[in-house]
Amino acid sequence: MMIFVIVIEEICKKQRLTTIIFTEEEICQAIGKLNTKKAPDIYGITVEHIKFGGDTLIKAVTAIINHICSTASVPDSLKLGILTPIFKNKGILSEAKNYRGITVLPVIGKILECLLRDLIRDFIKILQNRLQRGFTPTVSPLYSALILLESILESLDQKTSIFIALLDAKSAFDVVNHNSLYRKLFLSGVGGTLWLLIRQLSTNALTSIKWDGLTSEPFLIQQGVRQGGILSTELYKLYVNDVLDQLEDNGLGKYIGDIYCGAPTCADDIALVANSPTELQVMISTVENYSKHEKYVLQPTKSVVLKNKGSNSSASSLQDFSINEQAIIQPDSAVHLGIKHNANFKKTITSHINENISKARRSMYSLMGAGLHGKNGLNPTTSLHIFHTYVLPVLTYGLEILLPDKKQLDNIEVFYRKSLKQILSMPTNTADVAIYTLAGAIPIIGTIHKSALNTFNKICNMDSSVEKDLAVRQLALVGFSSSSWFGKLRNLLAIYELPSAQDILDNPYSKERWKSIVKKAVDNYYKAQTTSIEVYMKCSIHSNITLDTNFILDPSSFICACVCKCKCMDVCYTVEYITRKLCFALHGLRTRIIKNLPPSKRKGLLQ
């Protein structure tokens, strides 16, 4: 393999007919794409130093990068990184395998990588398998979870068996073979100076390990793409792309209609989906053979298989599966891209909701030291902002893909309301409408529906993708009672009186405009529900009552003996709030009128 790379290098040197040159504007755009508020590099330089250094510094950086490009040689000083082990939040602290190494590279090198990434993206985009959803612009990693979920729901609707293998590669980014990677890069169409520069970035690259305030002596990096490098994600996608093509070209795995959904992937997280155990084992063996060829290891102890035997299937659900002649475990549940799937797929939503509540509770407890504990803590406005920024995303993660119904969301709604009551220092028996009104919030189901509707419009805006092909097929074929995610979306659009799914598919909205339309529609829907007193009229005892003066002055006297099954207590809370507001307004008006009277006529009136 090394001989091939040497030959490719000679070819690229002969192809250097034109030099890559970047303008100051392109350099500024690249700097703008880098994340700020990050650790300094080994020279103590941060992105902010370059970003706010002024025009003179930008000119100097431009000259340095253009000189590197003209010579197709990257200085060793730009290849020296600092690797910090980050605990994965699982396993034993004292075991090295439970840490992920994140490398901080020199800022000038990161700017160069950012510029080169923009140049190779066009090549990789052409070759990238449609089921690879990781590190792709305008594509959420959860789209991979959506493809997997739609495959599961399709099998459940058809009552056929489905088998899923979630494969785990050991230290996937850290064991990438450089010679194989650069051969694939050349075959993708990248050549000349661009290929030479990318290879130069890993040639004689050094890394020092930083731990407990100490930094080790630098050592040579001979394999892998650095986690923390700008180019790493693009190069890794190219490295594993061939195995996805092999699976699809051989027709292995799940199809929905004529749409291939057999291997939804997000970076190094590969899920294999098949309707028969034999086919799934063939898929596993294909990935296994590819891993041996590319010199990385699949871990049978961390890979899992979930299976569900349909009532219309004759396939056996007792078959074992193996990697490297070791059996793959078949647990009751497993996590894929943060979504907890149950072996009984009908219980997946419940399992995931319970997992989200546990994670959100831990997130909230971790913030209580900062004052997120209601009474004697931070002011409610700040607390609500922190809650919606750090806790709510954890609580609702993945639910826009699973789309649970109202009954399935009972536990999560209870946790949400309880958290708001704690932040606002309100009694536990406070009416729901009062909580939502004071917090300026809507029920959590509305928040989930907003995310789902926004996701659908993003899919409709794609030029060509598996998700959009699924949308076209499912909206044309599935009924209103189908479990399909797209069928549920069609129902949501009708509930909120939004344009039809087919209209959006044919003429998608811009991101900002659709987001505004959805927010307005969903907020108005739940605002109408929380302010309506129609529920009061559902009580048979009060079906003929009128809203007169006595009701306004003492609404609690009309509460029936139904122990609030008709929710008339909530109506009383609403009316009492309106009454207090009305009385305060009348008192204010009376005070202003009296103050306008002559002093001789005010006597006794302001008491």
Residues 103-125 pLDDT 10s: 999 999 999 999 999 999 999 99
Report residue 580's pLDDT band, with 50, 70 and 90 as the boundaries. low
Kindly state whether residues 258 and 330 are assigned to the same domain.
yes
Angle between helices 192-202 and 2-14 (to 10 degrees): 140
Q: Print the domain residue range for 464.
A: 348-533
Residues 6+ apart with CB under 8 A from 315: 161, 275, 276, 277, 309
Kindly state whether residues 182 and 165 are assigned to the same domain.
no
Of the residues 336, 361, 388, the one at which a domain ends: 336
Report residue 543's pLDDT band, with 50, 70 and 90 as the boundaries. very low
Backbone angles phi, psi at 226, to 5 degrees: -70, 130
* Residue 546 maps to a domain: no
- 179 and 5 Cβ atoms separated by less than 8 Å: yes
- Residue 313 confidence (pLDDT): 58
Kindly state whether residues 442 and 528 are assigned to the same domain.
yes
- 485 and 441 Cβ atoms separated by less than 8 Å: no
Burial of 121 (0-12, 13-18, 19+ CB in 10 A): middle
Q: How many CB atoms lie within 10 A of CB 326?
A: 12
Across residues 234-246, what is the average pLDDT?
96
Across residues 524-552, what is the average pLDDT?
58
- Is the pLDDT at 519 greater than 60? The verdict is yes
* Secondary structure class of 42 (helix, strand, coil): coil
CA 459 – CA 527 distance, rounded (Å): 28
- Residue 472 confidence (pLDDT): 96
Pick the closest to residue 75 from 226, 201, 223 (CA basis): 201
CA 368 – CA 151 distance, rounded (Å): 41
Residues 6+ apart with CB under 8 A from 568: 535, 536, 539, 542, 558, 559, 560, 562
- 231 and 123 Cβ atoms separated by less than 8 Å: no
Kindly state whether residues 111 and 198 are assigned to the same domain.
yes
> Which one-letter DSSP state was computed for residue 132?
B
Tell me which of 312 and 70 has the higher pLDDT: 70
Number of domains the chain contains: 4
Kindly state whether residues 86 and 123 are assigned to the same domain.
yes
Of the residues 336, 357, 388, the one at which a domain ends: 336
Kindly state whether residues 327 and 407 are assigned to the same domain.
no
Backbone angles phi, psi at 177, to 5 degrees: -80, 120
Which of 26-30, 152-156, 167-171, 501-505 shows the lowest per-residue confidence on average (mean pLDDT)? Answer: 167-171
* Residue 540 maps to a domain: no
Kindly state whether residues 359 and 332 are assigned to the same domain.
no
Q: How many CB atoms lie within 10 A of CB 566?
A: 19
CA 97 – CA 174 distance, rounded (Å): 12
- Residue 545 confidence (pLDDT): 47
- Is the pLDDT at 425 greater than 70? The verdict is yes
- Is the pLDDT at 539 greater than 60? The verdict is no
Backbone angles phi, psi at 40, to 5 degrees: -70, 155
Extract the tokens encoding 330. Answer: 């078949």
Residue 452 one-letter amino acid: A
- Is the pLDDT at 562 greater than 70? The verdict is no
* Residue 187 maps to a domain: yes
Report residue 482's pLDDT band, with 50, 70 and 90 as the boundaries. confident
* Residue 352 maps to a domain: yes
Report residue 225's pLDDT band, with 50, 70 and 90 as the boundaries. very high
* Residue 134 maps to a domain: no
The 8 Å CB, 24+ separation contacts for 523-530 are 523/442, 523/446, 525/446, 525/495, 525/496, 526/436, 526/442, 526/443, 526/446, 527/442, 530/432, 530/433, 530/436, 530/437, 530/442
Backbone angles phi, psi at 249, to 5 degrees: -65, -30
CA 317 – CA 457 distance, rounded (Å): 38
Angle between helices 142-158 and 444-460 (to 10 degrees): 100
**CATH number assigned to the domain comprising residue 161:** 3.30.70
Question: Which residue is it, tokens 């958290």?
Answer: 419
pLDDT in tens, 78-101: 999 999 999 988 888 888 888 999
Kindly state whether residues 193 and 91 are assigned to the same domain.
yes
* Residue 591 maps to a domain: yes
Kindly state whether residues 117 and 216 are assigned to the same domain.
yes
Pairing between strand 265-266 and 99-104? unpaired
CA 257 – CA 376 distance, rounded (Å): 59
Of the residues 302, 336, 370, the one at which a domain ends: 336
Consecutive H or E run containing 215? strand 214-215
* Residue 141 maps to a domain: no
CA 53 – CA 48 distance, rounded (Å): 8
- Longest CA span, the chain: 108
First and final C-alpha spacing in the chain? 97
Q: How many CB atoms lie within 10 A of CB 227?
A: 18
Pairing between strand 80-87 and 206-211? parallel
- Is the pLDDT at 427 greater than 90? The verdict is no
Kindly state whether residues 124 and 255 are assigned to the same domain.
no
Kindly state whether residues 220 and 355 are assigned to the same domain.
no
Extract the tokens encoding 297. Answer: 């290891």
- Is the pLDDT at 561 greater than 50? The verdict is no
Tell me which of 317 and 420 has the higher pLDDT: 420
Report residue 575's pLDDT band, with 50, 70 and 90 as the boundaries. low
CA-based angle 155:298:79, to the nearest 5?
Answer: 120
- Is the pLDDT at 537 greater than 90? The verdict is no
Pairing between strand 162-167 and 269-274? antiparallel
The beta strands (E) that lie in 221-359 are given as: 255-256, 259-260, 265-266, 269-274, 304-308, 322-323, 326-327, 333-336, 339-342
Kindly state whether residues 256 and 221 are assigned to the same domain.
no
Consecutive H or E run containing 164? strand 162-167
pLDDT in tens, 287-339: 999 999 998 999 888 899 999 876 565 555 568 899 988 999 999 999 999 99
* Residue 387 maps to a domain: yes
